[in-house]
Amino acid sequence: MELLKPKKLQKGDTIGILAVSGQIKDISKINNAKKFFNSLGYNVVISDTCKESHRYMSGKTDDDCVDALHSFFSNDEIDAILCARGGYGTLRHINKINWDIIKNNPKIFAGYSDITILLAMMYKKCGLVTFHSPMANGDFSSFINDYTKTSFFNVLSKGEKHFKSQNGCLYSAGKSKGILWGGNLSSLVSLCGVDFVPDEDIILFLEDLNEPVYKIDKALTQLFNIQKIRKNVKGIIFGDFLNVEDKDSLKNLFFEVANELKIPVSDGFKITHDKTKDTIPYGVSCVFDSEQGIFSILEDYIIY
């Protein structure tokens, strides 16, 4: 697939903070994120959907969220879009999105968790390089982790290409190539039934939160029951699976997956719901060395 690459983020740019998933319960957190980016020399626009909600979701209606997404991409004065938070909601939007609007207006689009759904679909439908990244509500609103902040700007402004695990476990040694693709496991699996799987070889990265081991097992099994994924996955990068009680059982599951698929697999990467997290480009070619605990991007993914 021919990639659409966004322009790099630079001071003076306008960042649009967009809510298309869970309800924003405390708008002061979004305002704090605005102040943070303003202090660094960026302009900020906040979507109305940050201030409105229906049930547990942002915006007055689903259509409001889709309209806000379209508006932020169409607006030439907005240079980058940072999602406000995850939660639940984006799955409800994917059949309403006009993908041509996104394809014709490529720009930075960043988020994680439930936003995984949009990252995957923007790659599939548009070939847009997006970013698995921290978000406004949880990461840039109060205590701002130095590691998270540095990684965010190193990727979006400088095109950082090298990422290393921290005290990771090796499940299967090897080196492989593919596009960097994946995200939140629960969100990714929710796309089953939709045409969302890339045609290219994949280096799959995964993380999750508050899921027992049997549900992680179930989700992985469901994912690898998709023959296209089983065929195309050439390596697995595991980030954090937070708040798992039986960590030994989780490791045994990962060893089982590695043994069954016979591809490079390791963990320890700061792809996570934790405060300390990496920003990584989504849909770009990379090489993964599981024994060294390193993956490296093989191409420029932002326009300088």
pLDDT at site 32: 98
Which residue among the candidates 207, 211, 266, 285 is catalytic per the annotation?
207
160 is catalytic: no
pLDDT bucket at 174, cuts 50 / 70 / 90: very high
21: which residues sit within 8 A by CB, 6+ positions away?
57, 58, 83, 84, 85, 86, 87, 88, 89, 90, 113, 114, 115
pLDDT at site 91: 98
* Share in percent of the chain as helix, strand, coil (round to 5): 35, 25, 40
pLDDT at site 34: 98
CA atoms of 100 and 128, how far apart (whole Å): 11
Q: Supply 130's token pair.
A: 């997006």
Q: What is the DSSP letter of 3?
A: P
Tell me: pLDDT of 42 over 90. yes
Helices of type H across 40-115: 62-74, 99-103
Q: Is 263 exposed, middle or buried (0-12, 13-18, 19+ CB in 10 A)?
A: buried
Q: Is 184 exposed, middle or buried (0-12, 13-18, 19+ CB in 10 A)?
A: buried
- The 130-132 sheet, strands edge to edge: 43-46, 14-18, 80-83, 108-111, 130-132, 280-282
CA atoms of 63 and 288, how far apart (whole Å): 40
Q: What is the pLDDT of residues 49-97, one digit of tens each?
A: 999 999 999 999 999 999 999 999 999 999 999 999 999 999 999 999 9
pTM, 2 dp = 0.98
Which residue among the candidates 21, 47, 58, 113 is catalytic per the annotation?
113
pLDDT at site 168: 95
Q: What is the pLDDT of residues 266-283, one digit of tens each?
A: 999 999 999 999 999 999
Give me the domains of the chain, ranges plus CATH numbers.
Answer: 14-158 (3.40.50.10740), 162-297 (3.50.30.60)
165 is catalytic: no
Report the share of the chain in percent with pLDDT over 90: 99
Which residue among the candidates 47, 132, 176, 273 is catalytic per the annotation?
273
273 is catalytic: yes
**Half-sphere exposure (CA, 13 Å, Cβ side) for 106?**
20
pLDDT at site 209: 97
Exposure string over 219-245, b if 16+ CB within 10 A, otherwise e? bbeebeebeebeebbbbbbbbbbeebe
Q: Is 61 strand, coil or helix?
A: coil
Q: CB of 293 within 8 A of CB of 168?
A: yes
Q: Tell me, what amino acid is at 236?
A: I
Q: Is 214 exposed, middle or buried (0-12, 13-18, 19+ CB in 10 A)?
A: exposed
pLDDT bucket at 1, cuts 50 / 70 / 90: confident
Q: Is 294 strand, coil or helix?
A: strand
Mean pLDDT of the chain: 97
